[in-house]
Amino acid sequence: MGAAMDSELLKAGVEAHHKAIGSMDARLVTSQSDYEGVLAALGRMIASVPEEKVMAVYNEFGKLVDPAVPKYLMGSVRESNAQDAYKALLEFKDVVKANPIAAKTPAAAANPNVDAAAGKLADASYAFIQDVDWSRDTPITGLKGLTGTPYQWTKAIDQALLMGGQMDGGALKEAALAHVKAIGGMNAAGVAKKEDYQAILAGLGKAIASVPEGSTIKVYNAFGNLVDSRVPMYLMAGVKAEDAVQAYKGLMEFKDVVKAR
């Protein structure tokens, strides 16, 4: 769905979220005007996507949500406020649906150096990728060792949003579609085919190469400050050390090529 969005509207949506994060209070509630700006930006983004793609997202996530969740959430707020919000949301949905926008996203610029480097990194790291137990639910249930408050995590996410908003729209779309293809071809262990994995690396490399280095470092530091230093060793314990080392060496070489653009 994101890959189908108009790239300029996607960037505008990121900027709206960044502005809203900048005005949020200690309870993480933004100003009403910035909240309105986020809604308007999201409406335009969604309006630029074919309806069937929107419904596909709705239906797939709907399958993963316990039917008890809506009632639970309703119990944590004033019911009258929630009902008013829901009615307004349905009206908003109708307006978005009735005013489609033709999406435009220029193709990513060719970058043969990054493409070649992606091939080398895929060779160096595919064994490591196969070592990882992708069936673990740790990313969903949480990993002991994460630190920071919800406010700090929101600020870190803000840095990632800013980086994403600076990316070339075509490169971002290429990376997103590479992920879609890889997910569609992954095996029972959750591992993508090597050529699909390589395409992901190439797409990500081009997307990151289109961003100023300072923005990338800010994201790295923002999340690095919130992750316990013991986490890398915990992750290393679940794979073959030699595969991880080779993957890391390949990543460092890939990083240098991306940095050189």
Ordered by start, the domain boundaries in the chain are: 2-98, 112-260
Q: Name residue 22's amino acid.
A: G
Cβ-proximal residues to 85 (8 Å cutoff; 6+ apart), any chain: none
pLDDT tens string 97-135: 999 999 999 999 999 999 999 999 999 999 999 999 988
pLDDT tens string 200-233: 999 999 999 999 999 999 999 999 988 877 778 8
Q: Is the pLDDT of residue 144 over 70?
A: no
- Helices 7-22 and 150-166 meet at what angle, rounded to 10? 150
- Give the pTM: 0.90
Give the separation between CA 155 and CA 211, rounded to whole angstroms: 19
What mean pLDDT do residues 161-178 have?
A: 96
Mean pLDDT of the chain, nearest integer: 94
What was the pLDDT predicted at 201? Answer: 98
What was the pLDDT predicted at 79? Answer: 92
CATH number of 112-260: 1.40.10.10
Give the separation between CA 47 and CA 95, rounded to whole angstroms: 9
What was the pLDDT predicted at 227? Answer: 84
CATH number of 2-98: 1.40.10.10
| Same-fold call for 2-98 versus 112-260 | yes
Q: What is the largest CA-CA distance in the chain?
A: 58
